Structure 1
């Protein structure tokens, strides 16, 4: 095992975790396909002891009710595809496959400008943490792919 294998495996675990979360979203979306989403949103608002006629709960109920069944199915399919990509990446990283190291570097780097924009636009600790984790992964994968040569 090379010195970088532990770090690469940590990135693999992170990617597998993202895949697992996406799988839960895909299953959740699939479960609610075909159901009356407005009624479910209203039930959730009442369960949380909120007034459905007040401003924000009303916006939530309206937004959930406007999601079409075909959109819900498409979102579930997209989440399933994302899950597959993350699991394949995690498997490849765990087994130290070079192409998945490149994939991790490039796919992480693509998100950095969007995460930076989101952090600036809607500053929160969550946006800072997401940006920092992704930045660490991208930098680490860069150093795995381009190790410094020892100068003699």
Structure 2
């Protein structure tokens, strides 16, 4: 295939995709874009958190955690302060390159998913449904171990996103089969 043919096919695909986007029902488009914004916000917040953690790597994190606990006048033997101290110790022992790699991967996935959902790309619906479904067992376990209304909201929100994207993938497949059947 010649380079000119490839460019022509890409231009045709982009034109078809733009036409499909204009024809997409506005409620579906708004919902996909709301999910895209949510995913982008998660990616940006993860990036900010990773930068914040990396800026603390050359400090005594246990001392920083104790300063924070004292500043908020918390009981160091309480559940949340003990958890903060535990994670300060864990972070002190973490390879910074592993932390950078994990953060970069997570941020990249969230931002790529947001981009793809914004432009109604099927791969982004797959990515969103699968990555959201990966969290469900952990969210259910957390809800069972530490029941709280916020855990219920997070679980329900994630379930709704996964279900919505799954339904969109199913509908996309039905349309694809219907179009393939009408061409024969």
Q: TM-score, normalised by structure 2?
A: 0.70
Q: Greater helix share, 1 or 2?
A: 2
In structure 2, the CA distance between the partners of 1:122 and 1:145, relative to structure 1 (3 Å rule), is: same
Give, in whole Å, the separation in 2 of the partners of 1:119 and 1:41. 26
Unmatched 5+ stretches in structure 1:
none
Distance 1:55 1:69 in 2: 20
For 1:33, which of 53, 57, 60 is the aligned residue? 57
Q: 1:75-94 maps to which residues of 2 (within 5 A)? A: 75-94=99-118
How many Å separate the matches in 2 of 1:45 and 1:17? 28
**2:146 is aligned with 1:122:** yes
Per-residue deviation, residues 63-116 of structure 1 (Å, max 9, x unmatched): 255235451623343223211110011011111111111111111122222212
Residues paired across the two proteins, number = 148
TM-aligned CA distance change 1:111 to 1:66, over 3 Å: closer
Q: Which residue of 2 aligns with 1:63?
A: 86
- SS of 2:110's equivalent? helix
User: Is 1:106 the equivalent of 2:145?
Assistant: no
| TM-score with structure 1 setting the length | 0.83
Q: Deviations over 1:36-56 (max 9, x none)?
A: 1122122212212346xx523
